[in-house]
């Protein structure tokens, strides 16, 4: 049973998942710091307040804290933009560069006599009228 558990833990999928979670957590911390330390103050400088959590309105004694929602939406937009531009775009660029299109099937062949291009199905060269075998 211990041997099977060790095999399970050392399988590629489990290790890859663990590495992905750890790197994801570290990247999340970097992006959160970027959002909190750089981008949110820029938004605050433009709008006037970097923290919207104090924005509320009251109806019949019920307090609606829409500022927290705005903070969450702005954080989501900042984090998703950072992930898109710092992870997704570079990965897609690398993948597209590494993929090479297979060559298309040829539609022509060379005449053995005059070396001109002729269709594959041709039985006679259109340039020199040589019979093609």
| Secondary structure (3-state) at 13 | helix
Instruction: Report the pLDDT value the prediction gives residue 50, as an integer from 0 to 100.
Output: 66
Q: Assess whether 88 and 117 both reside in one domain.
A: no
| Residue 35 and residue 1 in contact, taking contact as beta carbons nearer than 8 Å | no
Average pLDDT on 2-25 reads 77
Q: What integer pLDDT is reported at residue 9 of this predicted model?
A: 67
Res 19 pLDDT > 80:
no
| Mean pLDDT score of the chain | 81
Q: Are residues 82 and 62 in the same domain?
A: yes
Tokens of 78: 């900042």
pTM of the model: 0.46
For the stretch 85-98, pLDDT in tens is: 887 898 888 888 87
CA distances (Å), origin 91, targets 69, 94, 98, 108, 131 = 31, 5, 11, 37, 52
Share of the chain above pLDDT 70, in %: 95
The model's confidence at residue 59, banded by pLDDT at 50, 70 and 90, is: very high
Pick the residue with more confidence: 12 or 40? 40
**Mean per-residue pLDDT for 40-57?**
76
- DSSP letters spanning 44-58: HHHHS-S--TT--EE
56: Cβ contacts below 8 Å, ≥ 6 apart? 63, 64, 65, 66, 67
Structural domain of 128: 104-133
Residue 55's closest CA among 40, 71, 44, 41? 71
Whether 87 and 48 map to the same domain: the answer is: yes
Q: How far apart are CA 111 and CA 128, in angstroms?
A: 9
Domain CATH number, residue 43: 1.10.1200.120
Residue 8 sits in the same domain as residue 45? yes
pLDDT reported for residue 131? 86
pLDDT at residue 5 in the model: 77
């Amino acid at each position: 049973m211990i041997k099977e558990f060790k095999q399970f833990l050392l399988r590629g999928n489990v290790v890859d998942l663990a590495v992905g979670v750890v790197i994801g957590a570290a990247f999340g911390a970097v992006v959160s710091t970027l959002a909190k330390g750089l981008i949110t103050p820029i938004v605050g400088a433009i709008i006037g307040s970097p923290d919207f959590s104090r924005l509320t309105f009251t109806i019949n004694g019920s307090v609606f804290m829409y500022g927290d929602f705005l903070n969450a939406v702005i954080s989501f937009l900042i984090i998703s933009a950072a992930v898109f531009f710092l992870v997704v775009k570079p990965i897609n660029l690398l993948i597209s560069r590494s993929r090479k299109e297979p060559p298309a099937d040829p539609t022509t062949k060379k005449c053995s006599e005059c070396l001109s291009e002729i269709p594959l199905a041709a039985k006679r060269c259109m340039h020199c009228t040589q019979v093609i075998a």
